[in-house]
Amino acid sequence: MDENVKTAEREVTLERLREIDDDLRLPAVPEQVSYPIETLIPEARTQTPAVGQRASRPDGRLHGLGQTKYIDDLSFPGMIHAKIKRAGISKARVKNIDVSEAEKMPGVMATLVGSEIPVNSFGPSYQDQPVMVNGTVFHAGDPVAAVAATTEQLALDALDKIKIDYEPLEAVYDPIEAMKDNAPQVHEGESNIYSSKVIQKGDVEQGFEASHRIYENTFSTQMVEHVPMEPHASIADWDGNGRVTLHSSLGRITLGRADIARTLNMPINRIRVIATVVGGNFGGKNEITTEPILALLSKKTGRPVKGVYTREDEFMSSTTRHPFIMDYKTGMSKDGKILARKVRLVCDGGAYCSWSETTLGKACILSAGPYNIENLYVEAYAVYTNKTMTGAMRGFGAPQVCFAYESQMDDMAHDLGIDPLDIRRMNAFHEGSASPTGQVLESVVVRDSLEMAAERFGWQDWNK
């Protein structure tokens, strides 16, 4: 214990307390410019004893022992199992759902359809995603009905007994087609484009006029599934007091709790979400999926209900990385300086918005690359298609545009006869460069990083 505090116990005066307080405070940096700066800012490596030390993960031992309990490893007395019937058709009107045969099966305790969801919509930007199909199917992985039964196998068997009449509707799969005026509308409205952004800097046409050569390329990236080793899983327990407890593999439990409260039309304090170790997320477990369905099945049966995705569910219905179509037009000077760039990004959002707006914004800002470009014009669109929905995945749009601008950079370097490292070094941001949206950048080390990397992997030798 601090000596001062000990002796101060009885004879403390207000003055003495102020002195102690002053001793403990750090001098305010901006006001005391004459103060030797070294003593104010501790060395990074001495700030905490942890820096520079090896550490083992606190959960590492249980992982290796096989004792980590993921959702599917938990079970509760009386627990039953839910499975979800997927639409299997990408755009349709549901004329009729008949669950009577499934309900007659021994071991089946309850079924659920979309019309039973109190508020059948959710989503982080726009609430355009139904928890379960109610009337219209927007993509093949949409949940149409759910079954809770005493075993997983019985629940799966019961799915086959559910009869659904569909009236197929015209679907659209290509984002470029979906942008056209006469394209079938994924959701009711005037356009499939639900978000657009523009960044403008300098005069791009003037930049092209001054260019020695202009390069035009189109790049595209594909849809990518996260494939977490652990499929999405939750257990819902609706108790007699009208409280629901959800054990879930959700990564963002506070956001999820709000969405669950919204969809169940319940006060948020009636909902308890317990998150446990997640068997891989990568962005794919950031939103609710079947949690409201399981909660309602638990309400119907009075039993805890476990729902674990099959790998097929995972591929068909969980979020994916956005496919992008990227048109790049870049004007170069003879010596390899980027004079102007025009970019058009089309982000195929799939059936629901999810995090597409965020992704589009980030892709837009990063689409010029870490390069000084005086004349820049970026336009970007997020588009609905009748495909598996897209959502958060590591990078939020950054990897897609990076693939485009770096691929074009290599092509241009080759054509101009400039070393690929030199052309990047020449154009790269430096201290005080402004980003496309005008942010002045500090601590810019991109050139140092490039040079260090080139040296470490022997770029000059490899390049010969």
Partner 1 sequence: MDVKLTINGEEKSASVPPETTLLRLLREEFNLTGAKIGCDVGDCGACTVIVDGIATNSCLMLAGQVQGRSIETIEGLANMDDYHPLQKNFEDLGSLQCGFCGPGIILSAKQLLDDNPDPNKEEIQDALAGNLCRCTGYTKIVEAVADAAREMRGNREAA
Binding mask 284-313 for partner 1 (x = CB under 8 A): ------------------------x-xx--
Does 230 contact partner 1 by CB under 8 A? yes
Does 64 contact partner 1 by CB under 8 A? yes
DSSP state of 365: H
Segment contacting partner 1 by CB under 8 A, of 14-22, 167-175, 272-280, 378-386: 272-280
Among 24, 26, 50, 65, binds partner 1 (CB under 8 A): 65
Output 73 or 406, the one with its CB closest to partner 1. Answer: 73
Window 131-150: residues binding partner 1 (CB under 8 A): none
Output 64 or 240, the one with its CB closest to partner 1. Answer: 64
Of the candidates 409, 426, 418, the one whose C-alpha atom is nearest the C-alpha of residue 463 is 418
Does 57 contact partner 1 by CB under 8 A? yes
Among 277, 398, 441, 450, binds partner 1 (CB under 8 A): 277
Q: How far is residue 319 from each of residues 58, 75, 233, 357, 371, measured CA to CA in Å?
A: 30, 27, 15, 14, 32
Within its chain, how far is the Cα of 240 from the centroid? 36
Structure tokens at 393: 């995945």
411 in Cβ contact with 217 (< 8 Å): yes
Torsion sign, CA atoms 88, 93, 95, 100: positive
Residue 87 to residue 137: CA distance in whole angstroms = 7
Smallest distance, Å, CB 70 to partner 1?
7
Does 125 contact partner 1 by CB under 8 A? no
Tell me, by CB under 8 A, how many residues bind partner 1. 33
Segment contacting partner 1 by CB under 8 A, of 52-60, 180-188, 262-270, 289-297: 52-60
Output 237 or 314, the one with its CB closest to partner 1. Answer: 314
Residue 335 to residue 337: CA distance in whole angstroms = 6
Output 233 or 347, the one with its CB closest to partner 1. Answer: 233
Torsion sign, CA atoms 105, 108, 109, 112: negative
Q: What are the phi and psi torsion angles at 240 (to 5°)?
A: -65, -20
Does 223 contact partner 1 by CB under 8 A? no
Structure tokens at 274: 């317990």
351 in Cβ contact with 138 (< 8 Å): yes
Query: Which chain residues interact with partner 1 by CB under 8 A?
Result: 55-57, 59-70, 72-73, 153, 226-231, 277-282, 308, 310-311
